[in-house]
Amino acid sequence: MTNLKCPHDDKDSLMNLQDPELERTLRQAPRPLPPATLRETLVAQITLPKTPHCVAGVDSLSSPWRPRSAAVNWWRRWWPALAPAALSVACVVTVAVQQMEINDLRRLLEPLVAALPVDQYETSVASVPSVAPVFAASAESDELARLHDLVDRLAAEIAALENLQAENESLRASRSGGSGLAVTADERAALAAAYERAQVITCINNLKQLGLAAHIWAKDHNDMFPSSLSDLSAQLSASVMVCPVDAQAGSQRPYEYLRPGAEAYKEPNLVLFRCPNHGNICIGDGSAHMKVAKDRPEHLVERDGVLYYEPNSSAPAETQDRAGEEP
């Protein structure tokens, strides 16, 4: 192996060419000379554009060259960029047109939907499957709102009922004495006396009504009193025919009817009705007298089995007109 000596280096070493030397060498490369007949061949094969058309068979390689117009060359150069751009623009235009049509249809449908009743609206929505999802949502929301209102009203009513129930319970407790009120014996006695007085007055009223009812009956029946209290049931309620004491005790014992069927207006002092509890009486003229049978039995006179009220016999009797006064 021989190491060549570089002409620029006197040292006995390998070549050490640097870039400038390499470039100079490359630029001074010899030029191969063409064959002598090549020029004539080339001149003979000159085929200009204005002369008969270039023969494509001269170049049989894969990329034949043919004369093209400037417009065709421009199109061939730019179509890879223009084709996708044109396609994109066409897609954008199509989508925009479709969106505009969709918006127009929505604007047309809105007033029609608002005018439809709910049931018909739901039916029409069900028959249009493509539109149902859009409008069903609004119908459901309306239904939900209505149900919410109903729930609120029911909750308010329940709260009011609970308040009433609580108030009722408190009133019951206060009535039964469980409220803790303290009542003395005197107050209790006064309450009892007042209650008894009220019963006496109620009894007197009942006897008064019985006397009036008997007179009205007599007017319609040849001036004859009714044969029994039941004849007066059409005119009076059942509670009037019973003393309050008996009614409170649960008894239906009526007042004593002493002269059934007697002649009216003949004997005004005839005792018609008598209370077995208080001794109150009602006489033939329709007046009622308090506690005569109990407290002043001497004012009652019996003749031939008939009882008469004669207050002048011993002491003056207390009448219903003065029932509110204390003896």
Partner 1 sequence: MHSDSNRLVAAAREGDRGAAEELVNLNYQRIYAFLRRLSGNEAEAADLTQRTFSRIWCALDTFANRSSISSWFHGIAYHVYVDWRRANHRLEPRSDEWWGDRPSTEALPDQLATKADSDAAVYSAVEQLDADLRETVHLHYYQELTIEETAHVMAVATSTVKYRLRRALEQLRKRVNDEPQMPARR
Chain residues binding partner 1 by CB under 8 A are 1-7, 14-19, 22-23, 25-35, 38-39, 41-43, 45-51, 54, 58-59, 61-63, 65-70, 73
Distances (CA, A) of 314 to 30, 43, 225, 287, 309: 183, 184, 29, 20, 11
Whether the Cβ atoms of residue 313 and residue 301 lie closer than 8 Å to each other: yes
Q: At closest approach, how far in Å is the CB of 44 from partner 1?
A: 10
Tell me the three-class secondary structure of 132-197, residue by residue. Answer: HHHHHHHHHHHHHHHHHHHHHHHHHHHHHHHHHHHHHHHHHHHHCCCCCCCCCHHHHHHHHHHHHH
Whether the Cβ atoms of residue 302 and residue 285 lie closer than 8 Å to each other: no
Using the minimum distance from each CB to partner 1, give the nearer residue, 15 or 192: 15
Using the minimum distance from each CB to partner 1, give the nearer residue, 2 or 312: 2
Q: Pull the structure tokens for residue 114.
A: 């608002």
CA distance 37 to 28: 26
Using the minimum distance from each CB to partner 1, give the nearer residue, 31 or 266: 31
Q: At closest approach, how far in Å is the CB of 84 from partner 1?
A: 22
Q: At closest approach, how far in Å is the CB of 91 from partner 1?
A: 33
Using the minimum distance from each CB to partner 1, give the nearer residue, 42 or 171: 42
Q: At closest approach, how far in Å is the CB of 85 from partner 1?
A: 23
Burial of 250 (0-12, 13-18, 19+ CB in 10 A): exposed
Using the minimum distance from each CB to partner 1, give the nearer residue, 7 or 133: 7
DSSP string, 22-60: HHHHHHTPPPPPPPTTHHHHHHHT---TTSSPPPGGG--
Q: At closest approach, how far in Å is the CB of 80 from partner 1?
A: 15
Using the minimum distance from each CB to partner 1, give the nearer residue, 15 or 198: 15
Using the minimum distance from each CB to partner 1, give the nearer residue, 66 or 266: 66
Q: Pull the structure tokens for residue 237.
A: 């309620």
Q: At closest approach, how far in Å is the CB of 50 from partner 1?
A: 3
- Residue 18 DSSP SS3: coil
Using the minimum distance from each CB to partner 1, give the nearer residue, 31 or 107: 31
Q: At closest approach, how far in Å is the CB of 83 from partner 1?
A: 22
CA distance 271 to 305: 12
Token pair 């409008």 is found at 135
Q: At closest approach, how far in Å is the CB of 77 from partner 1?
A: 11
Task: List phi, psi (to 5°) of 155.
Answer: -65, -40
CA distance 190 to 200: 15
